[in-house]
Amino acid sequence: MVSDVVGTARFPDELSSARWQRRAEPQRVRVGDTFCSDDTSGNLRWRCCSVVTEAHPSQRFAFAVGGAEQPTATWAFDLRPEPAGTEVVYQVALGDGPSMLDRVSGGDPDRRSDAEQRRLDRFAELMARMLADLGRRVAEPGSVATVSVTATRVEAAPAPAWC
């Protein structure tokens, strides 16, 4: 379910809509498949396109926003069997590709660093909420869905455009 990029738009977060642009197989997600999303945060609206970088059914799903060469961010979801269900661990790393953080920071490295930390905090909040909701939806009666959320940060260099 974490690779259902179209279906995740039903969860209350920044993702307004998503659609597959290119898929090698209609019923299965593959490395190299691409999708685009429409996103909002407050008054900001933007569109991002992403490429699937890892696709191991029931184990791992990862994608790079803005392209694999110079991503704005990389996202990964690992699924780990647990006695009471499945643990979903998500990771996000901000990259050095162009992003809205460039506009928000105005090129100031300190403002960019602050904006990055706010984004990572917001990602963690939204993802925890989405994964908890997902866990409730897929949990069998009497079972417990376990959710673990982590966030990582990498250095990001200023870039001139949106993702």
In a domain, 91, yes or no: yes
Q: Is residue 59 part of a domain?
A: yes
pLDDT of residue 138: 63
In a domain, 118, yes or no: yes
Mean residue pLDDT across the chain: 75
Q: What percent of the chain has pLDDT over 90?
A: 10
144 in a structural domain: yes
pLDDT tier for residue 44 given thresholds of 50, 70 and 90 = confident
What DSSP string describes 50-95?
Answer: EEEEEEETTTEEEEEET-SSS-SEEEEEEEEEETTEEEEEEEEEE-
Say which CATH number the domain at 36 has.
3.30.530.20
Q: Which residue has the higher pLDDT, 71 or 122?
A: 71
Count structural domains, the chain. Answer: 1
Where in the sequence is the domain holding 30, given as residue range(s)? 7-149
Percent of the chain with pLDDT over 70: 75
Looking at residue 21, its pLDDT comes to 86
Specify if 86 maps to a domain: yes
